[in-house]
Amino acid sequence: MNAPTTPPPVKTEFDVVGTTPIRKDGEEKVTGAALFGDDIHLPGMLHGAMLRSPHPHARIVSIDTSKAAALKGVRTVITGADMPTLSSTVVAAGEGGEVNMQDIADNCIARDKVFYDGHVVAAVAADNKHIAEAACALIEVEYELLEPVLNVHDAVAEGAPVLHEDYTPGAFLFPTQKALPNAGRLFMEHGDVDATFDACDHVVEREFTTKSVHQGYIEPHVTTAVWTGEDTLTIHTSTQGGFAIRDFMASFMNMPMSKIKVVPMEIGGGFGGKDVVYLDSLAAVMAKRTGRPVKIFMSRSEVLRGTGPSPETYIKVKIGCNNEGQLLAADLYLLFEAGAYPGGPIAPGTMCALTRYNIPNVRLDGYDVFLNKPKMKPYRAPGATQANFAAESAIADLAEMAGIDPIQFRLTNALKPGDMMPMGFPCPPLGSIEMLNAIKNHPHYTAPLEGENRGRGISYAFWFGAGLASCAEIRCNTDGTINLTTGSADLSGTRTTLGMQAAEELGVDNDLITTNVGDTDSVGYTFQSVGSRTTFATGIAVISACRKLVEEMKKRAAMEWEVEGSEVDYASGVFTLKSDSSKTLSFGEICGKADHTGGPLIADASEFPEGVGFQIAANIVDVEVDVETGKVDILRYSTLQDVGKAVHPDFVEGQMQGGTVQGIGWALNEEYFYDEKGTLRNPTLLDYRMPTSLDVPNIDCTILETPNPGHPYGVRGVGEVPIVPPPAAIRDAIKNAIGVSLNDLPMKPGNVLKAIWEQKGK
């Protein structure tokens, strides 16, 4: 992670940014016309289905596909043995880490061993989905069962069954090191932690656990592969990043990147779960074998068994302060499930657990633990929600022990701009003090709360966000309208927020701009829509392209006036001759003259922004606990977030509300339930229960704007941090309601009752 460099000044007066136009892709979405991944029907298209392992850990002895292949309507059957051999397995990842592409390929379809309940062992393409499913049931697989490893403690214990004889340690955001047979490790320490604890007036030690939760996008994974020539592949898919799919596929298929075109369809939710290949390689191989397009659409139980989730965790926290409430030392031991293969979100979880506070002596010891569950995926601020639940809850308990007001305690210790960060550079502009004061002054926080078994809680959270590569291309038409193409998948309205930034920068009417998500042949490489990066990083690319366009258009105006480009000014859609302000040409007029002034007007930009603005958020929540049943009801909920500059405030509120409700689900009732054999027992949306409209109240939003100097308009990423604070805030509220500490997620009725009985007696 690089230190931010000194940026140019940030714009503060806006015409378009900060308004709330109706989204440009909206009408298609309310009429049903929008084409999502499953809405494509190609001529001659076959439908795929997969056979998945019922065992969490087994060696594949043999697979007999003959009966399946003989079924009428079946066109091909494949197993792991039919997949291409990778020419290069270990590739560089950021910050000096490496990613083993073979792991990701094997996660799509097992070769020798299956590593989790739901691991694909064979796939079929047939005339329709029913035939493909029937054929899967005819495939005979002989397994040699192996002892499964089902929790992090067993996995790191000496003598545990080993999943991988050798492994490339995970490198999600930051590399881990080879440490144990079933775990990579991330260790960081500064100061003298152990000696400082002896000098602390108050020390809290707690153990926390969280359960796996799924990203829960309503659209299952889907892809359609079609070969448009012997060596040219097109993939129509629902993904957070077309280029990522293209590059994975080039590796899996041993093909040049230029020969694969990925067409991103409308995407029905991602939250970190749709940025990797699950189906594309299976569809491509079966399409090649049959000479026909192949679509594969996962069932919901396949989504829950085979994709996602965010890891189950165990986190031990020891943290101490003096009588003045100054944090002096912290020691965190974190076991995060990686699932079947290395590369879970241990690094971001570990690294942002305490970053929002200044603590002079810190030890962070995190493990990326391999066990027989699906390969864990990022989920909205990956790793941060689990780590925040543990660290923020321990800090709440410590403030209580020290007898200090919880907000004052946080104000005393809050990371402020200019404070040295653990990453080795001073904290850039951040509205941390403003946010903590905003909680204190919030009408929700100051309102009385009365009634038995009711309590109010707060929490405070931090997340990094991402910069990374983005491209944008802008093209003017002769009628003065503009087409803007970027490589960023639009999960929630970013076509609109990117178009708004173009309209702002060009000083033209927002309605003149049509924004498009480009396929991988039509625009430059753009990293996935992850890390809250699209409006921020792709926005910077859009603004850069606009600035280049204006320079080119000044030259065109100068041509008309027979002067140099430097003699022309531009503002609010009008080009003016500096020496004679009566001479003007509108943006539209220059567009109309393009053919006579040098050809079509286009500009593009490629950016890799470093100045990521950190995200912070806080929650205030009132709950009522039914002490007979253990059920927790949310009475009132407020969330606060520093967004830098809200490009579209309604969309920003939507991110805040949506993330908060996901965090509430994580806190109160969502969990993966594996039985002792390692079988997922709740792979339906009836049993894996996400919040409904009836479960939650309105989420009140307070938007704070501390400009991020790393973006010309001060924009920070918005999407991820809202999910982080709810579990700790709700735990705090429950504790204040009934005097019982919940240290295990979810805080479902059973766990609440158990805690009441343990801490207060039956």
Which residues contact other proteins by CB under 8 A? Answer: 20, 22-23, 25-27, 29-36, 38-39, 41, 130, 215-220, 266-271, 297, 299-300, 491-493, 650-651, 653-654, 657-662, 684-686, 690, 692-696, 698-699
Q: Which residues, other chains included, contact 313 with Cβ-Cβ below 8 Å and sequence gap of 6+? A: 152, 208, 209, 210, 334, 335, 336, 337, 349, 386, 387, 390
CB of 380 to other proteins, least distance (A): 10
Q: How far is the CB of 82 from other proteins (least distance, A)?
A: 27
Please report, as a single letter, which amino acid is at residue 60.
Answer: I
Q: In 144-241, which residue ranges form alpha helices assigned H by DSSP?
A: 152-156, 193-199
Minimum Å gap between C-beta 650 and other proteins is 4
CA torsion sign, 168 to 174 to 178 to 180?
negative
Q: Which is nearer to other proteins, 170 or 722 (CB)?
A: 722
Q: At its nearest, how many Å lie between other proteins and the CB of residue 218?
A: 4
CB of 38 to other proteins, least distance (A): 7
C-beta closer to other proteins: residue 219 or 505 = 219
Instruction: Tell me if 257 sits within 8 A of 250, measured CB to CB.
Output: yes
Per-position DSSP letters for 62-114, written without gaps between them? EEE-HHHHHSTTEEEEEEGGGSPPPS--EEE-GGG-EEEHHHHHHHHS-SSEE
* Residue bearing tokens 């509430």: 664
Six-digit token pair at 452?
A: 């038995």
Report d(CA 276, CA 94) in Å as an integer: 16
- Minimum gap (Å) between residue 268 Cβ and other proteins: 3
Tokens linked to 167 = 């492994």
Nearer to other proteins, 300 or 547 (CB): 300
Could you give the CA distance from residue 190 to residue 170 in angstroms, rounded to a whole number?
23
| Nearest-angstrom CA–CA distance, 611 and 10 | 12
701 phi, psi to nearest 5 deg: -115, 135
Strand positions, DSSP E, 439-511? 454-463, 470-476, 482-486
Minimum distance, C-beta of residue 122 to other proteins, in the bound complex (Å): 21
* b/e map 369-389, b = 16+ CB within 10 Å: bbbbbbbbbbbbbbbbbbbbb
- Identify whether the C-beta of residue 253 lies closer than 8 Å to the C-beta of residue 288: no
DSSP 512: G
- Helices 384-402 and 406-413 cross at an angle (nearest 10°) of 110
Q: How far is the CB of 622 from other proteins (least distance, A)?
A: 17
Point out which residues pair with 691 in neighbouring strands: none
The Cα 194–Cα 210 span in angstroms is 27
The single-letter code of the amino acid at 643 is V
Nearer Cβ to other proteins (9/32): 32
Q: Is 526 helix (H, G, I), strand (E, B) or coil?
A: coil
- Among 187, 260, 206, smallest CA distance to 525 is for 260
Q: Tell me the closest approach of the beta carbon of residue 379 to other proteins, in angstroms.
A: 11
Q: Report residue 635 as tokens.
A: 């009475």
First to last CA, the chain: 51
In the numeric block, which tokens belong to residue 22?
């109706």
> What 3-state class would DSSP assign to 667?
helix
Indicate the residue among 321 and 617 with the shorter CB distance to other proteins. 617
Tokens representing 88? 């290069």
What is the side-by-side strand order in the sheet with 58-64? 113-114, 58-64, 140-145
Would you tell me how many other CB atoms lie within 10 Å of the CB of residue 209?
Answer: 18
In the numeric block, which tokens belong to residue 147?
């002892």
Least distance between other proteins and beta carbon 299 (Å): 6
Our CB check for other proteins shows the closer of 350 and 660 to be: 660
Q: To the nearest whole angstrom, how small is the minimum distance from the Cβ of residue 459 to other proteins?
A: 17
Min dist. Cβ of residue 397 to other proteins (A): 29
**Of residues 197 and 688, the one with the C-beta less far from other proteins:** 688
Of the pair 571, 686, the CB lying nearest other proteins is at: 686
User: Whose Cβ is closer to other proteins: residue 217's or residue 570's?
Assistant: 217
Q: Indicate the burial class of 743 (C-beta count within 10 angstroms; 0-12, 13-18, 19 or more).
A: buried
300 or 316, CB closer to other proteins? 300
Q: Helices (H), strands (E): how many in the chain?
A: 20, 29
Indicate the residue among 21 and 480 with the shorter CB distance to other proteins: 21
Nearest residue (CB) to other proteins, 85 versus 693? 693
Report, in Å, the least distance between residue 83 CB and other proteins.
28
Least separation in angstroms between residue 121's CB and other proteins is 22
Min dist. Cβ of residue 59 to other proteins (A): 32
Q: Which residues, in sequence order, are CB contacts of 470 under 8 Å at separation 6+?
A: 486, 487, 488, 526, 527, 533, 534, 537, 538, 540, 541, 606, 607, 608, 609
| Per-residue tokens: 468 | 């990374």
Q: What is the closest distance, in whole angstroms, from the C-beta atom of residue 759 to other proteins in the complex?
A: 32
Minimum CB distance to other proteins smaller for 36 or for 445? 36
Of the pair 37, 97, the CB lying nearest other proteins is at 37
Question: To the nearest whole angstrom, how small is the minimum distance from the Cβ of residue 129 to other proteins?
Answer: 8
Nearer to other proteins, 269 or 749 (CB): 269
CB of residue 220 vs other proteins: minimum separation in angstroms? Answer: 7
Strand partners, 541: none
Task: Give yes or no for a contact between 307 and 276, defined as CB atoms under 8 angstroms apart.
Answer: no
